[in-house]
Amino acid sequence: MEKNAETKKMVLMDERIVQLFRLGFGVLLVLLLVYLGGIANTLAAVSSFNLFNPALTVPILLIFAVTLIVTWLNLKILFDAKYGLDSKEFFLDFLASWAIGFMLPGKIGDFSLAYFLKEKIRVGESTAVILLDKVIGIAALSIVGSLSFVIFPEKGIADAAFLLVLFAWLAGGFLVFTSNGRGIIKKIVPAKYTEKFAGFSATLNYFLAKEKKRIALNFLLSVAKLVLQATILVIIFGGIGISAGVWEITLVLAATTLLSFVPITASGIGIREGAFAFFAFQLGIPIAASVSASLIGFFFNYLIVLIITVLLFGRATQIMRLNQKKIQ
C-alpha cells in the first residue's frame, strides 16, 4: 500500500513538472513574440488602449457576457435531450466550471462541469455530452477556418490551412470513434474518475443517431460564438488604432483556435498567440498590435473569471467538498 501511494505521488509530481515545463515554454513563446514585435511597440500599443473609455469597455464586456450565454446554450441544448436540468442551477454550475477552466492545466478544466453535475448525471454521461460539444465546436472551427483560402491565397499558407483542417477532422474522428481515442480522452480527466465512465459510448451514439437537430443548432451557435469573439478582438484593435474587419478576424481566430489544441504548451499558451500574430500579419496587422490585442483580451478574460470566482466561490467550494467526501 505504501509503495503504491509513493508511486502515485511520484507520478503526480512528474505530471506537475511536465505541466510547469509546458507553461514555462508557452510563456517563453509569448515573450519571444513581444520581442519580435518590439518591446517598446507592444508596450505602446497596450498603453494606448483606454480601459476607462466606456465606448470600448462596455461593448467588450457585454459581448463577453453574450458569448458566455451562447456557450451555456450550446451545452444546455445537448443536455436537454436527455436530462431535465434546472436552467438557473445549470447556468451557475456552468459559470463556476468555466472559471475553473482558466485555472486548471491543459484541457482538464473544460470537463470540470461534469464534476459539478455529478449529483444529477453520471460522470461518464455528462463528460460524453461535454466532449460532443467540443467536437462540434472543432468541426465549426475547421469549416470556418477552411475559408481562410479566400484571404490567404498564397500557396504556402493555403496548404498549411488545408493541413490544419484535415488534422482537425482526423484528430476529432480518432478521439470520438475509436477505442484508443476514447482511451486518450479518459486520460484528460483526473485518474480517480476513469472507472466512472460507464455509458460514455452509449451517450455519444444516442446523440449521433437521434439528436441531429440539436447537433446542427449547436454547430450554428458555435459559429455565432466565434463571430462574437472576433468582434471583441476587432473592438480591441480599434482601441489601439488598428482597423480590422470582423470577417477576416473570424477566419484568423478559427485557424488560431484550432492550433491552440495542439498539446505542446499548457492550454495552448504561446501557440495561440503565435498563430494569431502570424495569420493577422498576413492581413497587414503588425505583430506588436496582435500581441497587444491578445494581452488585452487576456485581461478582460481574467477580469470576468475573477468576478465569477468571487460571486460563486462559496457554491464551487461547497460542491467540491461534498464530492470530495463521497470520493473518500
Q: What is the pLDDT along the chain (328 residues), one digit of tens a residue?
A: 555 555 555 545 556 677 778 778 878 888 898 998 899 999 999 999 999 999 999 999 999 999 999 999 999 999 998 888 888 889 988 888 888 777 665 555 567 788 788 888 887 788 888 888 888 888 888 788 777 655 665 545 556 656 666 666 666 666 666 666 666 655 655 555 455 455 566 777 787 788 889 999 999 999 999 999 999 999 999 999 999 999 889 988 988 887 777 667 766 787 888 888 988 888 889 999 999 999 999 899 888 888 887 777 665 565 555 444 443 4
What's the rounded Cα separation, in Å, for the pair 84 and 77? 11
Mark out the alpha helices in 80-178 (DSSP H runs).
87-101, 112-116, 123-146, 155-177
Distances (CA, A) of 76 to 82, 159, 162: 10, 37, 32
What b/e readout covers 16-31, taking b as 16+ CB neighbours within 10 angstroms? eeebeebbeebeebbe
User: What is the structure's pLDDT at 236?
Assistant: 96
User: What is the structure's pLDDT at 176?
Assistant: 61
Which residue, 247, 251, 244, 257, is CA-closest to 290? 244
User: What is the structure's pLDDT at 328?
Assistant: 42
Asked if 262 and 26 count as a contact pair (C-beta separation under 8 A), the reply is: no
Distance of CA 262 to the CA centre of its chain: 12
Task: Report, in angstroms and rounded to the nearest whole number, the Rg of the chain calculated over CA atoms.
Answer: 20
Phi, psi of 236 (to 5 degrees): -65, -45
Distances (CA, A) of 259 to 104, 167, 221, 274, 327: 19, 10, 21, 10, 36
Mark out the alpha helices in 38-86 (DSSP H runs).
39-48, 54-79
User: What is the structure's pLDDT at 254?
Assistant: 87
User: What is the structure's pLDDT at 326?
Assistant: 43
Which residue, 197, 72, 78, 206, is CA-closest to 136? 78
Sequence-distant (6+) residues with CB within 8 A of 71 are 94, 98, 225
User: What is the structure's pLDDT at 219?
Assistant: 93
User: What is the structure's pLDDT at 127?
Assistant: 82
Place of cell 443548432: 217
What's the rounded Cα separation, in Å, for the pair 254 and 73? 20
For residue 305, what is the enclosing H or E element? helix 287-327
Burial of 268 (0-12, 13-18, 19+ CB in 10 A): buried
Handedness of CA 82, 88, 91, 96 (dihedral sign): negative
